[in-house]
Amino acid sequence: MNKPITASTYVRCLNLGLIRKLSDFIDPQEGWKKLAVAIKKPSGDDRYNQFHIRRFEALLQTGKSPTCELLFDWGTTNCTVGDLVDLLVQNEFFAPASLLLPDAVPKTVNTLPSKVTVTVQQKHMPLYGKDRTSVISDENTEQNYTPPDSSCPEYRSLEVTDTRFHSFSYYELKDVTNNFDERPLSVGGNKMGEGGFGVVYKGYVNNRTVAVKKLAAMVDISTEELKQQFDQEIKVMANANILLDEHFTAKISDFGLARASEKFAQTVLTSRIVGTTAYMAPEALRGEITAKSDIYSFGVVLLEIITGLPAVDEHREPQLLLDIKEEIEDEEKTIEDYIDMKMNDIDPTSIETMYSVASQCLHEKKNKRPDIKKVQQLLQEITAS
C-alpha cells in the first residue's frame, strides 16, 4: 500500500505515475524551464545552467518529458515534496501543487488544469472552389469534414480581397502538409522544426515547396493577457535570425528585439521563455529581460563569426561556444586557437578587438555590458582601421 504523501516526502520517492501527471501540467508552454531556473543549490547559486536546460530541451525530440527528467535529477539532492510545492506555488503552478498537497494551495486559487478543453464556434475558410478530401490521422477521432460552399454569403465574407497575398484555409494547409505530419523530414514526414510559437512543416503548393508554421495553442491565456505578453516576450538574437541581402547587409528577422523605447531601458519580468538557450543571457533564463539581454546574445553571434563554430555542439568541448571565454580568461587557450581558418587575410589585431567586444557583451552582470551604440562604435573602428 502506498504511503500518504506529506511535505517531508522525498521527491525521489514519488511514483512514476504521479510524476507523469505533474508533467502533464508543466510540460505545456515549456513550464519546466521556469522551475529549472528557479531551483537553487544550498549555496544560493543556480543548480541548472544553460547547458543543463539545453539537455532537458533535447529530450523532447526523443519523446521524453523534460519535467520528468528535471524532477528525477533534482530528486537526487533529497529535495522534498514541500520544496517542490513551494516552487510550484511561487511559479503559479497551482494545479500540480494541489495534486501533491491540496491544503498547500489557497482555496481562492483556481486550480483548473492548463489543458482545459475549450469549445468554440469555428468558421472555416473556403477552399476557393476546389473540392478536397479531408486528411484524417489514424489516431484522430474527428469526423470527415465537407468543405463549405464558397458561394455562400457567410463564407464569402471571410475571403481576403485587395491584397497581393494568397489566403489559405486551415484544411488546405492540412492537405499540403499531409495532415501536419509530425515525423521529421529524415524519416519521410513533414516536420522541419519547431520554436517557441509553434511547429514548421514542409508543404507543396502548385509544385512549389513552402514552409507552413502552425502556431502552438495557448487556450489557457486570455486575449488581453496575450496582447500584454507580446510586450514582454523573451526572444534571442541568434545567427538563424540574421539574414543577409544581396549587398551583405544584415537584416534581423523572426524575433522581438528588446523594444527601442524609453520604458524598455528598464527591467521587465516575464513568465514565458521563448528562444534558443545557447544564446540566452543568464538573467533571461530567469525571466528577467532588458535591452542588455540582446547584447549578450549578440556576443555569442560574434563568437560564431570569429570561430565559424555553432553556438552549441554536444560532441565538442566546450559544448557551449560561450564557454571558450572562460578558457581564454583562465589562460588555458587564446582566441587564436579558435579562429575560423576558412577566413582569408586574417588580421590578428582585428580579431583580438572583435573578441574583446564579444567578451564585453558576454559579461555575466548585465549592467557591465555595453549598449548597442557602443558595440556599433567599436565594430566600426575595426572596419575603419
Q: How far apart are CA 49 and CA 197, in angstroms?
A: 23
Q: How far apart are CA 69 and CA 291, in angstroms?
A: 32
pLDDT at position 108: 52
pLDDT at position 286: 66
Residue 79 has pLDDT above 80, yes or no: yes
Q: Regarding predicted confidence, which is higher, 268 or 296?
A: 296
pLDDT at position 357: 95
Outline where 191-346 has alpha helix (H).
Answer: 223-229, 282-285, 291-307, 324-329
- Give, as one character, the DSSP assignment of residue 35: H
Residue 338 has pLDDT above 80, yes or no: yes
Q: How far apart are CA 271 and CA 181, in angstroms?
A: 30
pLDDT interval class at 20 (50, 70, 90): confident
What grid cell was written down for 131?
Answer: 473540392
Q: Provide the β-strand partners of residue 250.
A: 244
- Give, as one character, the DSSP assignment of residue 351: H
User: pLDDT tens-digit profile of 100-147?
Assistant: 988 877 665 444 444 333 333 333 333 333 433 333 333 443 334 344
The secondary structure of the chain in percent helix, strand, coil, rounded to multiples of 5, reads: 40, 10, 50
Q: Supply the pTM of this predicted model.
A: 0.43
213 is in an annotated binding site: yes
Which of 52-56, 167-171, 367-371 has the highest average model confidence (pLDDT)?
A: 367-371
Q: How far apart are CA 261 and CA 206, in angstroms?
A: 43
Cα-Cα-Cα-Cα dihedral sign, residues 98, 101, 102, 107? negative
Q: How far apart are CA 117 and CA 96, in angstroms?
A: 17
Q: Provide the β-strand partners of residue 40.
A: 46
Look up cell 581564454; give the residue.
328
User: For 114, how many CA atoms within 13 A lie in the half-sphere containing its CB?
Assistant: 19
Residue 1 has pLDDT above 50, yes or no: no
pLDDT at position 140: 41
**Average pLDDT score over residue span 156-169:** 54
What grid cell was written down for 67?
Answer: 519535467
Residue 368 has pLDDT above 90, yes or no: yes
**Average pLDDT score over residue span 73-92:** 90
User: pLDDT tens-digit profile of 24-46?
Assistant: 888 876 788 889 988 988 888 88
Domains and CATH numbers, the chain: 11-103 (1.10.533.10), 223-384 (1.10.510.10)
pLDDT interval class at 272 (50, 70, 90): very low
Q: How far apart are CA 292 and CA 271, in angstroms?
A: 18
Look up cell 529581460; give the residue.
289
